[in-house]
Structures are given as C-alpha cells and as structure tokens.
Amino acid sequence: MMGTNDRVDLHTHSHYSDGLFSPVQLVGRAVQKGLGGIALTDHDTVAGLEEFLSTPAPAGFVRVPGVEVSTELDGHQIHVLGYFVPQGGGQLAVRLEQIADSRHKRFGMMAERLRELGVPLKDEDVQAVLAETPSPGRPHLARILVRMGLARDIDEAFELYLAEGRPAYVKKMRMDTLEAVRTLQTDGAAPVLAHPLLITGHRLQELVPQLVDAGLVGIETEYPYGQPQGEALAAVRRLADRLGLVKTGGSDYHGPDTLADLGAATVPMDVVQQLQARTTG
C-alpha cells in the first residue's frame, strides 16, 4: 500500500458528477492507497453523499460529505468547496436543484453544437449521461469524443471543442460567489476556496478577504497544479495564515483519465477537525 493513514484527500469527484467511479469505488481505492479518509466534493450536487457515507470502511477511516459549487464573481469563474454539507433541505439544496436543471439543458445544447460541427454523436450516448448523472458536465462529452476517436484524451477534446472559446462551449449557470459562501455557511457547512492559483480575473489579496467577510473559513493550499508554483503558492499559504484560514487540499480526482491520481495531494488528518470546528451546524 502507498501513503499513510494520517493523510486525507479532501477533493474528489464521483460519477454523480463528472468522475468515473462510484462513491463506493472511491472509498475502496482510498483504503487501498492507505489514506486515512477522503471528502466527496461532486460538482453542484450532493446526490452521491448518501451512498458515500453508508459505504463500509475500516474503523477510523474518515468520510467528509462535501460539494464543489460553480460560482462567478465579476464575470470570472470561482469554485467554492463546502465541507460537512447537510444532506437534506436547506438553501443550498434549492440552489443546487436549479443548477442541476441548467446543467442538463446545457449538456443538450453542447451536444447539439457538436452535431452542427459534423460530430456524429449518438443520441443514446447523450441520453445515457442525462439519465444517469445528476450533474452532467463537459468531461462526459469529452469522454464520448475520445471513445469515438475524435480526440486522444479529455484535454484534447476540450482544446478542440469544449473549452471556453471553442466551438461547442456553452456557458453554465453559476451561483454568485458571495451568495455561495453565505449559503454554505448558513446551512452549517464550512466554505473553502478551491484551487486559488487557477482563478483568473481577481487578485487573491483582494478577493480572499472579501470572501472571508462572507463566511469563508479555508483555502486549498495543496493541489496538483501540474507544475511547481513556488512563490505563488507560498504567498497563498501566508495569506491563509494572516487571515486565520484552514489550509486544506486534495487531488481533485476524477478518474485515471484526468490530471492527478487519488491521493496525489493530501493534508494531515487534523485538517478535518479544523474544518468541522469551523462549521455552524
């Protein structure tokens, strides 16, 4: 086994959004790798949390119920993670239901754009995703394109068709970032800023204090960015310390066909306790 059981991966995705594996499989893989726990943070849905939390695991293995909310501030994308998310009811559930509906509509629009470009998508492939996935996204279409031999991998499918500015891209509905942070906090969850070095259009030194005022309690400082970040990441850690934020992180694992393996980025087990202590539930 790889890894040690005092480390946790707090950023993973299942097939309830755009990951490849079920929550049961994610837990099994984490146990095999020797991790002490994981969080399930599917995009804009908490539909997989019941399965995730009920999956058998060794004594002491930690499962953190979470979500990754797609948000926007001043026209720029920002992802907000929520930890210890309640499973039923609350303001978040209402907003996520609205976003899920928009995701299904968007998926169909992107499929139609691909067909207009001459891509012979099979309707049964599109309908299978819509029927089986509470929160469909671009990676689902990218995987179809890879299976069709129209792209080498997901990255190329995005580059050719699905990335912002490419011909099949359709903008998705996003919550206002400040609304998302406040909603998570009101519902008793711990809001955390995801992969801050991927955020464009905002200076973190100005953005993060604004989010803290809205209820932000943490920021990802461990994340598989794909290249050394050096001073930029060190500056994020200093900012977190200055503002009293929990420093968290994870692999952003979606499956073996994407950027990083499960456990590629982890944080100490006590980060889970720090996050739980900052919830209002």
Structural domain spans, the chain: 103-162
Tokens of 166: 């490419």
> pLDDT tens across 172-191, in order?
889 999 999 999 999 999 99
Q: β-pairing, 246-249 with 190-193?
A: unpaired
Lowest-pLDDT range, 7-16, 61-70, 162-171, 256-265?
256-265
> pLDDT tens across 113-156, in order?
999 999 999 999 999 999 999 989 999 999 999 999 999 999 99
Judged against a pLDDT cut of 60, whether residue 3 lies above it is answered with: no
Please, which residues bridge with residue 77 across strands? 72
pLDDT of residue 2: 44
CA 7 to chain centroid: 19
Amino acid at 33: K
pLDDT band, very low/low/confident/very high, at 281 (cuts 50, 70, 90): low
Judged against a pLDDT cut of 90, whether residue 217 lies above it is answered with: yes
Q: Measuring CA to CA, which residue among 250, 279, 98, 253 is closest to residue 173?
A: 98
> pLDDT tens across 14-73, in order?
999 999 999 999 999 999 999 999 999 999 999 999 999 999 999 999 999 999 999 999
> pLDDT tens across 73-104, in order?
998 999 999 999 987 768 998 999 999 899 99
pLDDT of residue 1: 39
